[in-house]
Amino acid sequence: MKMNFLSVRDVTAEEFAELIKEALKIKKSRKRERVLSDKILALIFEKPSTRTRTSFEVAIKELGGDCIYLGLSETQMARGEPIKDTARVLSRYIHGIVMRTDSHEKLVEMARYSSVPVINALSDLEHPCQVLADFVTIKEFKGELETLKYGWIGDGNNVCNSTILACAMMKIELTVACPEGFEPDRSILRYAEKIGGKVKITHDPKIAAKDADVLATDVWVSMGSEHERAMRLVSFEGFQINSEILELAKEDVIVLHCLPAHRGEEITEDVIEGEHSVVFEQAENRLHAQKALLKKIYSRE
């Protein structure tokens, strides 16, 4: 049975917890396996990447498979070939598609016409693989999840959207602090509310930081938003994770950032390099989380 992973919503809470557990198990005993033996996956990346591309390539190869990287200009989609045609052709060559795109609709169409699994390696709506790794990190450092308070400070972007869904599934209390006009996707918030999520939206970062067990942020200017840089820097002034904000959180708070970081903008140098920061463990966990995901998808066959 084909299993796509386009959204955090594509797995149950139980499956999400199992993926976290498996990723931590993999991390403890990193070894080569044969789950993807004789399988080749295509990595279609319309946006550049360091962590996502490298972690997926290593994960695929450590699981016994291989991959083909296709950049923005390396497919006929760059010249207008319909995604449905690309999906149906690639499905006859390879055993899975990992796609990083500026449009979630493209991803959905790829999955609709593909006969092999499609994984969201980032879209404008969600970044579920990143958030899976984030929760592996939270579990690693905090243990039980349900009693935690999570504070997100910054843009209500794709990572924030996936964080909302994951917190709702894992019964974590989440407060999102963002400037007016930069709130998370409304459909995501409605879904989180429907499944019993405790999500609060505020325009005051101090409220999100108050007594938080976990604090997270992301860049203020994402890929594709560079033309809005000047406006965004003004809008996000005051939404920085710094020592003052950190003092409002719990003494053992951990700080997450999916990287790359613009130090001095959304987060200060002293915080990202400080004792509360787990951003490099978080980055490492991309590898282990994606291996767990790939094992789940391809062990179903």
Write down the pLDDT at residue 222.
79
| pTM score, whole prediction | 0.96
CA 281 to CA 207: how far, in whole Å? 26
How confident is the model at residue 2, as a pLDDT?
73
Question: Which residue numbers are catalytic?
Answer: 100, 127, 130, 218, 258, 286
C-alpha to C-alpha distance for 68 and 66, rounded to whole angstroms: 7
CATH number of 130-282: 3.40.50.1370
Supply the pLDDT for residue 300: 66
Nearest to 185 by CA among 167, 207, 169, 165: 165
* Residue 70 neighbours by CB distance under 10 Å: 19
Q: Are 98 and 119 in contact (CB under 8 A)?
A: yes
Cis peptide before 260 (omega within 30 of 0): yes
Average pLDDT over residues 252-280: 98
Convert the pLDDT of each residue in 236-249 to its tens digit: 999 999 999 999 99
In contact, 170 and 12? CB cutoff 8 Å:
no
Percentage of residues in the chain having pLDDT higher than 90: 91
Q: How far apart are CA 289 and CA 279, in angstroms?
A: 15
Check pLDDT > 90 for residue 106: yes
Bridge partners, 216 (sequence order):
152, 256
Is residue 1's pLDDT more than 60? no
Where do the CATH 3.40.50.1370 domains begin and end in the chain? 8-127+286-298, 130-282
When pLDDT is averaged across residues 177-200 and rounded to a whole number, the result is 97
**Cβ 272 vs Cβ 261: under 8 Å:** yes
Please report the pLDDT score of residue 117 as a whole number: 98
Instruction: Give exposure, 51-63, as e/b (b: 16+ Cβ within 10 Å).
Output: bbbebbbebbebb
What is the reported pLDDT for 213?
A: 98
Give the mean pLDDT of 131-151.
Answer: 97
Superfamily, domain 8-127+286-298 = Aspartate/ornithine carbamoyltransferase (3.40.50.1370)
pLDDT, average across residues 202-226: 93
